Copies of this chain bind each other. A is one copy, B any other.
Amino acid sequence: MLLSRYFLPILKENPKEAEIVSHRLMLRAGMLRQEAAGIYAWLPLGVRVLKKIEAIVREEQDRSGAIECLMPTIQSADLWRESGRYDDYGKEMLRIRDRHERDMLYGPTNEEMITEIFRSYVRSYRDLPLNLYHIQWKFRDEVRPRFGVMRGREFLMKDAYSFDVDAEGARAAYNRMFVAYLRTFDRLGLKAIPMRADTGPIGGDLSHEFIILAETGESAVFCDRSLLELPIPAADTDFRSDLSPIVSAWTEPYAATDEMHDEAAFSALPEERRMSARGIEIGHIFYFGTKYSDPMRARVTGPDGQERPVHMGSYGIGVSRLVAAIIEASHDDAGIIWPDSVAPFDVGLVNLKPGDAVTDEVVDGLASRLEGAGLEVLQDDLDQRAGAKFATMDLIGLPWQVIVGPKGAAKGEVEIKRRATGERQALGLDAALARLVQGRAR
């Protein structure tokens, strides 16, 4: 992609409304524009990151055996009257009346709708276990939206819903999502720690939040430092096997948000293992048994021929919030540092002298070879001074920069820079290409 044909509206000034670094950097890097309080348009650089995160979330949901569906954003109020949540939900629910004066709402979550879908088709334990997920926009009419997409009103969420014949099956479903979440966040370059959580308005018996540590985190968290060193379950993990040993390994060490914090238990840890920090919630999983299936009569026949309400869980990942969370966890004074897996482009290819025939030729040749090798390249062909070009590249945080000037080009040499470390290296064209292709493969 040529920068001259792209749409990357970089801001030179720090936007005053941005209180946290991710919001500031997303605005400055031309990723985002606010359209109303807590409602954002994703500009091209932002969409690319959002779609990559979405793809990784989807892959790991699929791997775990969950099946994708797609529920609408607008729901009928009647569904929520059945569960009793229509009145409970309060002003955070965006209520709508359509042209025929029917009460509708913009879904803040989908427990009711998925339960309605389930009960319409499934009758027998033989069709279980079942886990249906979707990745869809939600709306919560926060009284004071802020921090950009970290706490927006319209946001993209992956929500999955599991259905099992009994509590034991539901626990296995919970474990599958637990492991899928560990893998998902690891692939996004995040150290996420599962913490026992309050079940809140979704209700239920068992719940974990997945939390990343970041100075700007919304809540205080306390955990055993050994959690930072635990291995992530491998890609070939058998999701039909018993995953409870993995879940136990991740849940036995102490970890809690401030609401659930037990100071006595925490103090019992050796001092060097006690870690207290700020955290950002990026995922939340719940087992809530028959809370929805009871009132909504979602029932299946068991092996004994008896009908019973199905056991359910729900499992959320804040997809749009993750864009901000990743930036909170990975940036420096110069800008964003994208993990390779979600970077909007793999390589920023900087032409220091557009119009110079030799430089242009080297840059164009390198771009097509990199793209031929499957890398995504943003080629800076603008007529700007070098300092501005470098500042833009550092700000938008692509994993690799390749800098081509007329002197180097004449010798067939370019400079490559790894954004995360700042390490620079002058290399011949073939060596540079090999390094970047290899860098991408990691």
Residues of A at the B interface (CB closer than 8 Å) are 5-7, 9, 33, 35-36, 39-44, 46-48, 50, 65, 67-76, 91-92, 94, 96, 98-99, 102, 104, 106, 113, 116-117, 120-122, 130, 132, 134, 137, 139, 141, 143, 153-154
Taking a contact as CB atoms under 8 Å apart, the answer to whether A154 and B47 are in contact is no
Taking a contact as CB atoms under 8 Å apart, the answer to whether B121 and A9 are in contact is yes
Of the listed residues A48, A70, A104, A116, the one surrounded by the most CB atoms of chain B closer than 10 A to its CB is A70
A-B contact pairs, 14 of them (CB 8 A): A7-B67, A9-B121, A9-B122, A35-B72, A36-B74, A36-B102, A41-B70, A41-B117, A43-B69, A43-B117, A44-B69, A72-B154, A73-B73, A74-B154
Taking a contact as CB atoms under 8 Å apart, the answer to whether A36 and B75 are in contact is yes
Q: Which residues of chain B are within 8 angstroms of A137 by Cβ–Cβ distance?
A: 72-73, 137
Interface of A is mostly: mixed
Query: Which are the 5 A-B pairs with shortest beta-carbon distances?
Result: A9-B121, A42-B70, A36-B76, A41-B71, A91-B99
Taking a contact as CB atoms under 8 Å apart, the answer to whether B106 and A33 are in contact is no
Bound: A285/B252 CA distance, A: 59
Cβ distance A382 to chain B, nearest Cβ, rounded Å: 10
Copies of this chain, count: 2
Q: Give which listed residue, B72, B92, B139, B143, contacts A39 with CB less than 8 A.
A: B72
Taking a contact as CB atoms under 8 Å apart, the answer to whether A69 and B47 are in contact is yes
Q: Which residues of chain B are within 8 angstroms of A72 by Cβ–Cβ distance?
A: 35, 39-41, 137, 154
Bound: A47/B132 CA distance, A: 12
User: Which of chain B's residues has its CB closest to A92's CB?
Assistant: B99
Q: Which residues of chain B are within 8 angstroms of A121 by Cβ–Cβ distance?
A: 7, 9
* A5/B65 contact (C-beta < 8 A), A91-B99, A98-B94, A117-B41 known: yes
Bound: A94/B50 CA distance, A: 27
Q: Which residues of chain B are within 8 angstroms of A70 by Cβ–Cβ distance?
A: 41-42, 46-47, 50
Of the listed residues A73, A98, A117, the one surrounded by the most CB atoms of chain B closer than 10 A to its CB is A98
Taking a contact as CB atoms under 8 Å apart, the answer to whether A35 and B75 are in contact is yes
* A35/B141 contact (C-beta < 8 A), A50-B70, A68-B47, A74-B106 known: no
Q: Which residues of chain B are within 8 angstroms of A117 by Cβ–Cβ distance?
A: 33, 41, 43
Q: Which residues of chain B are within 8 angstroms of A94 by Cβ–Cβ distance?
A: 74, 96, 98
User: Which of chain B's residues has its CB closest to A48's CB?
Assistant: B68
User: Which of chain B's residues has its CB closest to A50's CB?
Assistant: B70
Q: Which residues of chain B are within 8 angstroms of A143 by Cβ–Cβ distance?
A: 99
Bound: A300/B430 CA distance, A: 43
User: Which of chain B's residues has its CB closest to A78's CB?
Assistant: B36
Bound: A245/B132 CA distance, A: 49
Of the listed residues A9, A50, A69, A76, the one surrounded by the most CB atoms of chain B closer than 10 A to its CB is A69
Bound: A153/B73 CA distance, A: 11
Q: Which residues of chain B are within 8 angstroms of A139 by Cβ–Cβ distance?
A: 74
* A67/B44 contact (C-beta < 8 A), A99-B141, A121-B9 known: yes
Q: Give which listed residue, B41, B96, B99, contacts A96 with CB less than 8 A.
A: B96
Bound: A6/B76 CA distance, A: 27
Cβ distance A294 to chain B, nearest Cβ, rounded Å: 21
